[in-house]
Amino acid sequence: MNLTNFQKKLIWGIGVLSIICLWIAFPLIFKALIESYKLPEDFNSLGPFGDIYGSLNTLISSIALCAVAYSTWLQVTSLKETRETNIKQLKLAEDSHNEQLNESRNAIFANQFYSLLNYKLEKYKSLEFECNDSRYTHEGKKVNGLGVLQALTSYFSIEIERNPKLFMEKSESDLRHHFITITLIFFREPISPLLSYFYIYKNLLNLIKNSKLNDQDKAVYLDILCNSMFLEEQMVLFWISPLYTDLKNSIENSRLFNQIWYDESLKEYALKFHKKRTFRTKDWLEIFSEGSDENLA
């Protein structure tokens, strides 16, 4: 049965009062004790009986010592409980602080990510070139970003299917020169704004990679980035990223390509210039695994 603080204090008060009353009444008790022995009249030595009073002093001192020991134990226990409570409160405060830091960090990251994504969109909207290819517009008319990407994707897909060696037997510098030449044939302006646009992906991927987000949150933002791209956009990036080292390094193993279909004509180009984890689709992952097995054999 648990006692209340008042009951504990009451018990202690009665105990202390009883000891005081015993102390005050002890001479009378001592006197009655001696008289009860009916000693002879000539008995003059009361020393042994006096020792009884001394033993009471010892008893009371022992009780006081026990009380001090008990009080000390209570203080130690109280300090231990206080210390444990402080540790728990400190842990709760630390967890709360870390949670606030995470929320603040996530908010800052989200702001940076969507600002870059909006900047990418504005950059994309600003892409406009005079096209020399009548398949996409009247000669001399301007085409927007999607038109540019469609023209380049169409050319690359047709040429690599018709003549894969055109791409496979060239060095990266030759491929880069070939790409620039093709853009000058298709468009009247230099293609540098398009290249600048693709470098924004480097910033976005590095932002996700270097953030302190957990893997699940990183995957969510990567999905958002991948789904913000057109298929033609991924195809052009598939083509030109190996031609520019910095751009190539930024997308390697990024799992950015989630829309590029598997086609036999693209297989050798992918195996030569790209890494397995730059792709997401099951077909491409299997092709890279088969390619690794063939190389080991």
- Enumerate the domain spans of the chain: 53-81, 127-296
| Residues 178-193 pLDDT 10s | 999 999 888 888 899 9
Q: Helix H segments across the chain?
A: 5-37, 47-126, 145-162, 165-168, 172-186, 192-210, 215-227, 231-240, 245-251, 264-273, 282-296
Residues in the chain, pLDDT under 50: 294-297
Q: What is the dihedral of CA 153, 238, 279, 252, to 10 degrees?
A: -160
**Residue with structure tokens 């496979």?**
168
List CB contacts of 199: < 8 A, sequence separation 6 or more: 246, 247, 250
Question: Closest Cα to residue 256, out of 225, 212, 291, 292?
Answer: 225
Give residues with Cβ within 8 angstroms of 230, minimum separation 6: 146, 149
- pLDDT score at 296: 42
pLDDT digits (tens, 9 = 90+) for 120-179: 999 999 998 888 766 655 555 788 889 899 999 999 999 999 987 888 888 888 999 999
Q: What is the pLDDT, as a whole number, of residue 297?
A: 40
pTM (predicted TM-score): 0.67
pLDDT at residue 252, rounded to an integer? 92
